[in-house]
Chain A
């Protein structure tokens, strides 16, 4: 476990080298909030509530979901793995005495821990700047459930991106697919609009998918909605993590032997 802690610590320190990135990362979190503010300001001028949300309830949802979305930086994992396999430099992970997936999970942990504080600060600034009457639940159990779900969701996304990354062993060029995945993920995780706006049948279907629980449900739980889904959400997400871990094991055993360390 110590070696993974060291990896996380190293990546946490590495982030300090790109200080401008940290500031820009903070500033660009405003994009989603600004989108929500301008769009829903116009809509709520004509209506009191939309899909059960008030104006400030909606903006609180966006503040929380944008905070979680910003923390979810694992898409870099699949891009990095794909590029390194293609360039023949993936060997550096294979020759060190660590589990490669564990290495990337620890790396992600280090990066997330670093950005946690800054994203938190950014969320506070936007609440203040946009004059949002921030609504958050006070029930400790629900908050704990939401936080565990977020951690599980972040781990699931690391697994997913690791899985997609190692598919490069087999398919060689997956960058187009990764970009499409990013576009679709923005929709199904509810980071552009709350999934509650979609028809009931669509939402019911999405409940079977893991993406529903990555940012959408935790954000809804923290804004005081969908409390009855919390326990089921944790169970579904845990099942998906187990399924994906099995898929990673199979894909690694089957495809990693294709890697010859000289690039494609």
Chain B
């Protein structure tokens, strides 16, 4: 009984760790893509958003907002609450 409960908790933990890796990869691509995609042309040709250079706005400001929203969505919809102590807190975990 106990083993099965732990398996289930660890499966959840492993999935959430993979989600973390996925988010970090996405974050890096967004950050790198906008910064060096838009920022590598000469400064005279830059366009501006809210007064900031467009590469910076999309990469760092918008990118940050997008990551916050993603983290909220991921945590609210995919993260599962599990007991952290080894003694089962409610019997529901042993079913299934």
User: Do A and B associate with each other?
Assistant: no
Chain B residues within CB distance 8 Å of chain A: none
List A residues at the B interface (Cβ < 8 Å). Answer: none
